[in-house]
Amino acid sequence: MRALPSNLSWDYHRYSPLQRQWDIVFTTIQFSGLILFDFLRKKNTASQHHKRARWLVVQLIKLGPTFIKIGQALSTRPDLIPLEYVEEFSQLQDRVPPFLSEEAITVIEMELSDKLENIFTDFDRVPIAAASLGQVHRATLPTGEKVVIKVQRKGLEKLFNLDFKVLKSLINFLDRFIPTIKKYELKLIYQEFFEILFAEIDYLQEGKNAELFRYNFQNDSKIIVPKVYWEYTTKTVLTLEYLPGIKINDKETLAEKGIPIKPLIELGICTYLKQLLEDGFFQSDPHPGNMAVNPDGSIIFYDFGAMAQVKGLAREQMVQTFFAMLRKDADQVLDTLVYMGLIEPVGDMTAIKRLISFSLTRFLDKPVDINAFREISAEIYIMFEQQPFRLPPQMTFIIKALTTLDGIARTLDPNYSLLSASQPFFRRITQTTAPNNILLMVARQGRILIQQQLQKPSRLETTVKDFQGKLEDGELQLRVRSLEAERISRSIYLAIKTLIYTCLTGFSLLNAILLVSTVYHSFSVILFGLTGLFALFLVRSIVSLSVAEKIR
């Protein structure tokens, strides 16, 4: 596991609120400056994006758990941020530094009110895993049972409360000075984010989640969930049964053990479909560190802090939705998502239907190609700009879980099919539902599907129909080049750039003067340097603007 040094500022117990605010603001200014610098130099290449994303990953880790979680959430949104950032943010899962084992022992002894040697007969001081919220140690109970102890980082709740206030102030500032931001309801989003974050640091709730998950799969011998030892569990210490296994994306080891890949992929996909559609209670972060494989091919689940709930479907609804996906019926699938509370309806659902239709067409019969999102990224941005809607947290979790599962499945078998892998689940649903109802439903849906295939128009008819539909929906775009308009746009661009440099020069100069007489006077040297750099860019922009005006 790649890790950064553990001497991070947010891990100090005397970390002041003022210093925290400055760290967040200074990182924001630094990143904004780097992006602006790239924009002005017109360096917009993929390699440059990777470079900036790697820098930002390091800064997020330095800022601590809150921002690590933000980065992890953004790693599942290729529709909102560049693909290079998605790829770099996904590595946050494996680059979280552990904390000292002495601190973990102190927390255990304090929470369980006894000395470590009296609680466990054996305790491994080297953690076997580290996450943004805690780390895991192996131990042995006096009864001889092997367990793992999940220990929470000290001071997390205090740090979350501080970050909550800082981000709240930042959002209030944006809402006040950038009125267009209000329509995105950032306050609601960050409120939901912190509610989820505070729930994750309650290990008593995680223990209850594990027991409920275990209960839901009690009749499935292929799904293994560790037992919770409640006498050794508190709000910040969680003790679970030790269940080692093969990492689920370790293709070489799985092959050495003779574990067939196709049944494993089907088991993983069908297990998640059961969680989502049947139980309405699912693990929202099924990354490879949270899942392992037994030598007999069964799957072991580990982490139950990030769980989410949705409105489950009746079995008839599942079958109906399954056939709607086969027919690529975006309207029916959208109705199901709205019913489950995964999409909040808005006045015009056309853009959302197009997105669902695109997903069904491109991703149903083959693995998800994350690069394909580039094809509709422009439409997605326009959709959010013209009529922004907010995805409920559950839908974000599902997108995150599905893309993670797809990545695991694609690692094991690049040619797997999501539709094919999910068939055992729907086959089981049809076999366990009342025969009369399900046979009637299957017959009706099958007849519609066959009729659709028989009545399928030719390629020419399909092309003409698509053209007509786009024409009626106003989706066709005409590009007319106007040299005068281009000159005006160029002048506006130069004027805005000049204004930005003026603001940056004044802002950096003012802050440098203010910091000279404070304990942070060392930062003033950096800001004076930035002032000179911005001033140079400002002069250059003024000259360019003057030349452009004379040419006109």
Q: What residues act catalytically?
A: 285
Q: How many residues in the chain?
A: 552
DSSP β-bridge partners for residue 291 = 301
DSSP β-bridge partners for residue 239 = 149
Q: Which of 125, 117, 67 is nearest to 98 (CA)?
A: 125
3-state secondary structure of 267: helix
Q: Which of 271, 226, 223, 269 is nearest to 244 (CA)?
A: 226
Furthest CA-CA distance within the chain: 88
Neighbours of 270 (CB within 10 A): 20
Distance CA 341, CA 210 (A): 24
- List the alpha helices (DSSP H) in 95-155: 101-112, 116-119
Q: Which amino acid is at 421?
A: A
CA 226 to chain CA centroid, Å, is 25
Distance CA 214, CA 223 (A): 9
Q: Tokens in use for 334? A: 């959208």
Classify residue 229 as exposed, middle or buried by CB count within 10 Å of its CB (0-12, 13-18, 19+). Answer: middle
Q: Tokens in use for 520? A: 């942070």
Distance CA 154, CA 133 (A): 9
Q: Which amino acid is at 389?
A: F
User: Is the Cβ–Cβ distance between 216 and 206 less than 8 Å?
Assistant: no
Angle at 128 between CA 268 and CA 404, to 5 degrees: 30
Report long-range pairs for 182-188 (Cβ below 8 Å, ≥24 apart): 183/388, 184/384, 184/388, 184/390, 185/390, 188/390
Distance CA 271, CA 282 (A): 10
Neighbours of 256 (CB within 10 A): 10
- List the alpha helices (DSSP H) in 455-551: 459-473, 483-515, 521-551
What beta strand segments (E) does 336-386 contain? none
Using the structure block, give the residue that is written with the tokens 């947010």: 10
3-state secondary structure string, 385-401? HHCCCCCCHHHHHHHHH
